[in-house]
Structure 1
Amino acid sequence: MASPVKNQSSVVVFILLGFSDYPELQVPLFLLFLTVYAVAVVGNVGMIVTIKINPKLHTPMYFFLKHLSFVDFCYSTIVTPKLIENLVVEDRSISIKACITQFSTCVTCVITEMVMLALMAYDRFVAICNPLLYTVSMSPRRCALLVTVAYSWGIISSIVLTYSLLVLSFCETKIINNFVCEYSVFLSASCSDKHFSETMLFIFANLNAFCTLLIILTSYLFIFVTILKMHSASGRYKAFSTCASQLTVVTIFYGTILFLYCIPNSKNSGLVVKVGSIFYIVVIPMLNPLIYSLRNNDVKESLRKLMYLKIISQ
């Protein structure tokens, strides 16, 4: 019987091939991902600072957006530097402990982002469908509690899924045709029974996706019904504009994940999986602050003032 991962972590390593199959693209991809990561960091940190220093943005909607930007920043920082490094070094190995650490932190961020998007949809539902109760329903204390629940559930889910990996055994060094330590990486590298791990993945992946999507879709169903009942065209436009940015983010985020994990693996080539993973792991954290800043006039005005003050101080 193979020994558990904790006894093998000092011997067994994973080799993340990444995009090594395309040596002529290593330099262009390095420059591309470095630029994307820089934009993601500047965008998300800028969003956090802008919301924090502008009292006008101290509302529940921007409170959730600030935490979404923080999660995107953490998510991008966990994976992208290692991806960039593997494009310029010969040794692409990563220890099992480091791989599990990357996986667990990624799971925390992904599930927290799912819950955060659901909370933002619920916030818009209360603001548009029950505006008279908005200040009571979305009080600062309740918003802080909801965000705490989002982080807590992300951590709990990560602990459970990480434990389901720690019971696996790994017998030898494994070459992985990917750039990130996903759950499938550990399952393919394991030489022990995977039934428990696969069951836990199935339960938690579907539970999180179904519950958060249900909250988002239900919230926006009521929002659209309420908007259609409005008599003022300007009122309908204003109400819809407050939801447009989040709808764009939700569509891109869930669309990519559903494309990757709801289509049978036989229909997805290794390159398609890697490109899809790149999109939702690396690109989406860059797109989110751009989408919200472009579609929210308050954020755009605050960013312009922030840049103006920075230029003046120099």
Structure 2
Amino acid sequence: MVQEKELNNTQFLSLWKNSENISKLESHAVNRGLVTAARDAPNDSSSRSTLWQNLSSMSSADQAHLMSRLSSTWPFQQERRALTWPVHAGLLANCVTSSLIATRINSEMFLYDAKAKFFDSIRKCPKSPFVFGVYSSGVTYFMLYQIIVTPKVFNELTPCPSCLIINSLAIGLATGIALPMLATPYLAHYVLINRESAVGKAKSLPVVNNLLEFLTLGWEGSKPARSVMATCAAIQMVVSFGAMYAMLWGRERMFSTLELDSDLARRLVAEAQTSTSLKQKILDFLRRIPLINGAIPESPENERVI
């Protein structure tokens, strides 16, 4: 009896171990089957919605143009602000940083006091170096933003967040700090030359004749503004990080909505093709400027994509 009982226990243990092994094998087989099915599933346009099938047939520039216009007429307020306000935040940051730099340089070159108050510098110094420095900074920022950042955000491919942040920060530093530090001394220098010519004095200031002299003038003339460079860089960094975070969040929400609600997508795309946003008006204006019209992509034809 004892031997039979031990034999039964041994058989029971062997059956239990075999059942465990079979369960593991079945689970492994099922998992492999699922992975294989997912890997071998057709990855073509037929498995996507009609909107993305039509967008895939468009070029990257046309996709960015259409989705950018769609973001301006997006019906959900928070998402629309997240998509459209970052560029305005960047322009505002550029105006602030370029103003700080331009006033410091103007105060040194015209008032001989780099630490003059901000509004005193604007009131007492010539307006042309200040206005043109801020204007050129803003226009250059908007142009580079539309060329570099917008096509990557408003595209069917998933963008790289760190790459977008780096691009946005580089554009802000280049146009909001480097450009006014180089351009403002040059403009102020020529204002001083014109003043000497207007009063009939002998020219004591040399004329800039080549690139080396221009860079030297920018390097020496920007020294009064170097004390505010850290503040300007911090402003640009905060705005770039915040703007890209908001824009990527709005992009994800907008693209998910378009993917799930085909009727809404069809209606909104049709409205976007017939409407003209403020940003589009600005782009149309920039295309009329001879020096930069080639850098702004032309509008795609108004064709229905759905």
TM-score by length of 1: 0.32
